[in-house]
Every structure is written in structure tokens, then in C-alpha cells.
Amino acid sequence: MAVQVIPLVGTPPVVDLQTAGATGDTTTTSATFEDMADTSVTTAGGKALDYMISAGCSINLSSQSTVDIIINVNGSDIANSIRTWEVSSNVLTDAPFILSTQAVVNIADGDIVKLRWRVDGGTATAQNRSMNILGVG
């Protein structure tokens, strides 16, 4: 079966597309949100745009605990982007899991977009981190 691509009428052009990420390990034991290494992007669309932000990673936890990730723009957390994973007694703590988040936010040229995280006990280790921002306008 052939696949046909149908362009969307009135779709705004992509003005800014950027990625950040890394495959190596980074860890946290912080109970308060802190920046996740290698997941920071600075917008470069030339003006305020609507951005689709997508970020995620694989995470291991050293103990039964909860880890949260959240998108942050210029020091302000995007509340509806928080995602939580809880490892309970019936889940292996050494098995990695994927945690991702998305948001659509109108932000200015030169704004800094970051992924932040926290853990409520033990150590969280993140691998294969990525953040993608797509500005349309």
C-alpha cells in the first residue's frame, strides 16, 4: 500500500528547530528541581513564537522512590509539563524506564528552555537524554 502525504492547509512555516541531548549518564539525588545536564536549548526564531517542546530520557532509580521531570523556560517551570514515575515495591529498581514530557508554549527569541528533574529518595540516573524545540510562526 502506498502512503500519500497530504499537506495541511494553512500550516505555519517552521522558523526554529533545535535539539540538545547526550547518551552518557547524569545523576541526581536532589529533592528539589535542578537542571538535567545536556538538555538546554536557546530559542533563535527571531521573534516570539509558539514552540512545541518535547523532552525525555531513560531513567534508573537506585531505590523505591519517585522521580519528576518538568520543562522550564527562563527559570519558570511549565506546570502542565510535569511527569512523574514512582518505583514501588513490586517494580525492579535497576530496570530503566522512559520518561517524557511535552508542552506548547509561546516564548520569545533568546529564551532558554531546559529540562529539570528531582527525586525523593536515593539516586536517579538518566541516559539518552534529548530535548527538541520546534518554533512555528
Domain boundaries of the chain, sorted by first residue: 27-136
pLDDT band for 2, please (50, 70, 90 cuts).
low
CB 127 within 8 A of CB 38: no
Any idea which architecture 27-136 has in CATH?
Sandwich (2.60)
Q: How far apart are CA 97 and CA 107, in angstroms?
A: 30
Q: What is the pLDDT of residues 67-120, one digit of tens each?
A: 999 999 999 999 899 999 888 766 665 678 899 999 999 999 999 999 999 999
Measured distance CA(21)–CA(25) in Å, rounded: 11
> Does the pLDDT of residue 29 top 90, yes or no?
yes
Beta strands in 43-81 (DSSP E): 49-61, 66-73, 76-77
Cell for 88?
514501588
Residue in the structure block whose three cell numbers are 525523593: 120
Distance CA 109, CA 43 (A): 5
- Residue 61: pLDDT over 90: no
pLDDT digits (tens, 9 = 90+) for 39-59: 999 998 888 888 999 999 999
Side chain identity, residue 54: S
Neighbouring C-beta atoms of residue 70, cutoff 10 Å: 22
